[in-house]
Amino acid sequence: MFMAHEEAGLALGLSLGSGAGHHHHLLQPKEAAPPEPCLSLSLAGAGTVKREEEERALIYCSAASSAADDLVEGYNSSGGGSRKKLRLTKDQTALLEDHFKEQSTLSHKQKASLARQLSLRPRQVEVWFQNRRARTKLKQTEVDCELLKRCCETLTEENRRLHRELQHLRALHHHQHHHPAAAFFIPSAATVASVCPSCSGAPPAHAADRPATKRTFFATKSAAC
């Protein structure tokens, strides 16, 4: 990769802007992180659209981040050790929510644009979306859990009922064995269609696509009753 860039005579650009960069801020120790000087080493011309967007985002960050930081007052850059927690305004949150409703992930372009509108750093928009996705998923998991619990209760009750019915049938069979003239037992509608429709089918196809990792386990599990 590096060699390709060198061969093509591409410039090694030092751009300011962690906002659009990855979140591995190895150059920023925890204590020093707050001001986010947007320092990232960027290889210009990686040759993809995404890269171009990244570049634009970096350019935006380099040009406006300091002003944005001032506006946002997210952190005290004086290096006092303790960082100030950013509180998004209602308007900022509303706009973010609006975008999240439409799309839970952002392209670089969208991220940069949204950051500009909100006077935030792209990184902050990115983090907000990450947290939003995580917390939405958590809520959904709780809902699914509740659903599964109820499904389990229903099935347990159904199981009990079927056991009773089985006992009844056995008794009847025993009775018929000794009294052949007895009428045939006609199963009730409930007996015929007593299987939970969600449980009767095969597991979802995607479940077998790959081994259930820690991450996919819950998603796979909650997909079916």
The amino acid present at 170, given as its one-letter code, is: R
Q: At its nearest, how many Å lie between DNA and the CB of residue 140?
A: 10
- Which residue number, 33 or 151, has a Cβ lying nearer to DNA? 33
C-alpha span between 20 and 23 (Å, rounded): 9
Q: At its nearest, how many Å lie between DNA and the CB of residue 57?
A: 8
Q: At its nearest, how many Å lie between DNA and the CB of residue 3?
A: 4
- Which residue number, 99 or 123, has a Cβ lying nearer to DNA? 123
Q: At its nearest, how many Å lie between DNA and the CB of residue 177?
A: 57
Q: At its nearest, how many Å lie between DNA and the CB of residue 162?
A: 36
- Which residue number, 42 or 62, has a Cβ lying nearer to DNA? 42
C-alpha span between 123 and 35 (Å, rounded): 12
> Measured at the alpha carbon of residue 121, what is the angle toward residues 115 and 122, in degrees to the nearest 5?
65
- Which residue number, 116 or 132, has a Cβ lying nearer to DNA? 132
Q: In the complex, which residues of this chain contact DNA (CB under 7 A)?
A: 1-4, 7, 20-26, 28-30, 33-34, 36, 42-43, 46-48, 50-51, 54, 74, 82-88, 93, 105-106, 108, 123-124, 126-128, 130-135, 137, 210, 213-215
- Residue of 158, 159, 139 lying closest to 147 (CA atoms): 139
- Which residue number, 26 or 189, has a Cβ lying nearer to DNA? 26
C-alpha span between 92 and 148 (Å, rounded): 36
- Residue of 6, 86, 98, 92 lying closest to 43 (CA atoms): 6
- Residue of 46, 43, 38 lying closest to 18 (CA atoms): 38
